[in-house]
């Protein structure tokens, strides 16, 4: 019973961000994967816009380290977007056709980690892009970069996990 409640709680937390998410339950694997990847792309587009504003502001006020950090973050973000676009949605259905509840719970955990991390990055990047020029620090932009890298790694692990779930 505890396992079911935990799985439902995780899926509900993901559903706070992705309305159509059903936790990879019956016949919804492909749709859930597509919904997650769509949410990730929309979030990354918003973060990219914020990073562009940060980079412009850093250039304008001659904060070279923050400008370079923003450029590096945009580079990693673009690579992340390419990986999300290249992930194949169609393969998820056959591989999860015979699954265990722990397999699905692990997949929901990956989804939740990625979404929560991207939400944090989005809030931080928005705060930085709206901050005054004096409060813009390269440490905040560096934190965005490392968080993007971490989120990208979660997505890579998720992609490998989807391909690696064995039929039972």
- Number of helices (H), then strands (E), in the chain: 6, 0
pLDDT above 50: residue 21: yes
Q: Where do the domains of the chain lie?
A: 2-164
Percent of the chain clearing pLDDT 90 (strictly above): 41
Nearest to 73 by CA among 134, 152, 12: 152
Q: How confident is the model at residue 162 (pLDDT cuts 50, 70, 90)?
A: confident
Lowest mean pLDDT among 12-16, 36-40, 99-103, 150-154: 99-103
Tell me: pLDDT of 144 over 70: yes
Q: pLDDT tens digits, residue range 79-117? A: 999 999 888 654 444 444 455 556 667 788 888 899 999
Asked whether residue 69 carries a pLDDT value surpassing 80, the answer given is: yes
Predicted confidence band of residue 5 (pLDDT cuts 50, 70, 90): very low
pTM passes above 0.75: yes
Angstrom distance (rounded) from CA 69 to CA 139: 9
pLDDT at 3: 42
What is the structure's pLDDT at 80?
95
Show the CA angle centred on residue 72, arms to residues 66 and 73, nearest 5°: 85
Q: Dig out the tokens for 100 from the structure.
A: 């265990």
């Amino acid at each position: 019973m505890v396992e079911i409640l935990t799985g439902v709680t995780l899926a509900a937390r993901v559903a706070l961000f992705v309305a159509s998410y059903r936790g990879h339950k019956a016949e919804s694997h492909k749709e859930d994967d597509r919904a997650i990847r769509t949410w990730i792309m929309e979030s990354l587009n918003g973060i990219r816009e914020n990073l562009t504003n940060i980079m412009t502001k850093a250039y304008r006020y001659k904060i070279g380290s923050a400008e370079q950090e923003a450029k590096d973050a945009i580079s990693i973000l673009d690579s992340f977007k390419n990986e999300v676009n290249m992930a194949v949605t169609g393969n998820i259905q056959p591989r999860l056709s015979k699954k265990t509840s722990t397999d699905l719970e692990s997949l929901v955990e990956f989804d939740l980690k990625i979404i929560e991390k991207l939400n944090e990055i989005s809030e931080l990047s928005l705060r930085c892009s709206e901050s005054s020029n004096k409060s813009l620090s390269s440490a905040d932009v560096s934190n965005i970069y490392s968080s993007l890298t971490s989120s990208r790694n979660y997505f890579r692990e998720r992609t490998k996990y989807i391909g690696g779930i064995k039929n039972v």
